[in-house]
Structure 1
């Protein structure tokens, strides 16, 4: 089954850039389009007044997202892969799954830090949540030893 539309979420980490590289390699081989998204996680700020601190934080996070997406856009251009990017806002796993459904994505390629034990219980994993909720296949790209 060809993957015509591939989604790669990024958080600007090394493992998310490796996931982007994997997504772009697959897209190049299959002549697919890559959708890259960065989600501004608003969950920690729910309940705060919308003016002041939140607006400043939102601007910083949106700027970080644009920078992360620009790195992937540069990689895509160098590889000759058609790509689109978007900054989203909300709960990362929910927004990624919703975007994938709305855009009829065929494959999600997402980096995972490989949390285990207490970290996984307390923090959960966006990649794990996406893999459970997604309507399409999800390729998990693990953090390698050299990135630790």
Structure 2
């Protein structure tokens, strides 16, 4: 499969734009268009006692979002990538899934959840629902990671995420599709490390190139 059209839903969290920038390299692998998507939570503009529907608030949020997206569109255009802005009121998961189907998206790119405590997982409930329900491949972007090395905290930026990917495989059909996707990125991938599962012994400790 080829990645020609990406859906990029965002909540404008930290490093959201940097995550978008990390996708620009996909132009060399066939990327043509990016759909920039923002869902205004229904509760922010919904009916309130004696106030009705907050139409003015919806328009304000739409305009603020449109202005921010226009800056992102300039970065995409500078690299020869087309873009489209979609701003909706509703619930994130069903809106994202519906838009992906409508726009015939090849890849959905979502960000990691906001850190609120000990980070046991970097995906939130919405992302888990998307992964479970989506028929379109999903990339969960984690632009910055912090980890301990030799007693010191180290910060690393994942700005070349496609250069040396790691494929953890159990030889299942989903693993085969992941390999097929990586194969379509041969113009931008230097090497793929494969971490294979051994029958009955779990995952090995060493990845193999």
TM-score by length of 2: 0.58
Q: Is the 8 A contact 2:5 2:31 kept in 1?
A: no
Which deviates more from structure 2 when the two are superposed, residues 107-116 or residues 64-73?
107-116
Q: Quick one: structure 1 residues 37 and 3, their matched pair in 2 at CA, closer, same or farther if it must change by over 3 Å?
A: same
Point out which structure has higher relative CO (alpha carbons under 8 A, 6+ apart).
1
Match of 1:72 in 2: 72
- Structure 1 residue runs of 5 or longer lacking an equivalent are none
What RMSD, in angstroms, separates the aligned Cα atoms of the two structures? 3.0
Counterpart of 1:92?
A: 92
Asked if structure 1 preserves the Cα contact closer than 8 Å seen for 2:46 and 2:52, the reply is no
Structure 2: 5+ residue runs without aligned partners? Answer: 147-154, 156-209
1:118-147 C-alpha deviation (Å, 9 max, x unpaired)? 999xxx54333322221110000115246x
Residue 30 (structure 1) aligns with: 30
Question: Is the contact between residue 5 and residue 105 of structure 2 (CA under 8 Å) also seen in structure 1?
Answer: yes
Aligned to 1:39: 39
More helix by share: 1
Q: Is 2:2 the partner of 1:2?
A: yes
Q: Distance in 2 between matches of 1:119 and 1:41?
A: 25
Moved more, 135-144 or 53-62: 53-62
Tell me the residue number matched to 1:57.
57
Using a 3 Å threshold, how does the CA distance of structure 1 residues 136 and 53 change in structure 2: closer, same or farther?
closer
Cα distance, 1:104–1:16 mapped onto 2, change above 3 Å: same
Between structure 1 and structure 2, the one with the greater Rg is 2
Alignment partners' CA distance in 1, 2:143 and 2:31: 26
> How big is each residue's C-alpha offset from its partner over 1:12-64, in whole Å with a ceiling of 9 and x where there is no partner?
22332233223333245324221111111114554426956722321222122
